[in-house]
Amino acid sequence: MCIFLYNYFLCNLCRKDLEDIVELDRDFENFDVEHNRNQFCWDYQDYIFLLTKRKSLLTLMKNRQKIIGFCLSVIVGFESELYKIIIQKEYRNKGLGKILLLFHLGSLKIMGVGFSFLEVSHINFPAICLYKKIGYKVEYVRKKYYINSDALVMKREL
Ligand SMILES: CC(C)(COP(=O)(O)OP(=O)(O)OC[C@H]1O[C@@H](n2cnc3c(N)ncnc32)[C@H](O)[C@@H]1OP(=O)(O)O)[C@@H](O)C(=O)NCCC(=O)NCCS
């Protein structure tokens, strides 16, 4: 394995990268539908919209030229919200999600951001494990936020 991490802005994001991202998103959401029917994957236009209209940070993890994971935060003033983090299935449980997220949060800090917030279904055990391992704490619970689960709102100081 030969892993690289990059922070991307729309100007250096090629169409192929974005297509890989959308495909990863679709795979995750297909899997997730069984567990959480209230989440939908984003398409190409959704990503373009977000990256052009909102101040955001997109971090890609590549194994050579192939995208194997990414995360995306939107920045509002001193705070950010983690909208997406996905590692391709066959690369999970190897410590890569942790490396990706720590790199991403470190970059946000360099950009002057102070806090990261996120929302996760209370039955998404792998994601909650990852977030807790790197220091996110549950702020509050949104009961029945998703069709079959609650949402945990978590926060971490950068
Ligand atoms: C959540 C996700 C990004 C984690 O990525 P990952 O690369 O598998 O995570 P890591 O291997 O870096 O694991 C980080 C920590 O969480 C723990 N963990 C991860 N998955 C776990 C699982 N299924 N069971 C138990 N612990 C788990 C690991 O043990 C590790 O702890 P450690 O550092 O003490 O060993 C990945 O599972 C994924 O892409 N899920 C689908 C998308 C998703 O649910 N995104 C979050 C939406 S809010």
| Residue-level pLDDT at 40 | 63
Report pLDDT digits (tens) over 76-119.
999 999 999 999 999 999 999 999 999 999 999 999 999 999 99
Rounded to an integer, what distance in angstroms lies between the CA atom of residue 31 and that of residue 33?
Answer: 6
Superfamily of domain 3-114: Gcn5-related N-acetyltransferase (GNAT) (3.40.630.30)
Pocket of ligand 1 (CB under 6 A): 28, 85-87, 92-98, 120, 124-127, 129-130, 133
| Measured CA distances, 14 to 10, 131, 143, 154 (Å) | 8, 29, 39, 32
Model confidence, pTM: 0.91
Question: Which residue has tokens 């946000």?
Answer: 108
| CA 11 to ligand 1 centroid distance, Å | 30
Position 107 scores a pLDDT of 94
Contact 69, 24 (CB under 8 A): yes
pLDDT value at residue 37: 42
Positive or negative torsion for Cα 143, 74, 131, 42: positive
Q: How many CB atoms lie within 10 A of CB 143?
A: 9
Per domain, the residue ranges of the chain are 3-114
pLDDT along the chain (158 residues), means of 10: 69 81 80 50 86 91 89 96 94 96 96 96 94 98 88 97
Cα 113 to middle of ligand 1, angstroms: 24
Give the closest residue (by CA) to ligand 1 atom 29: 93
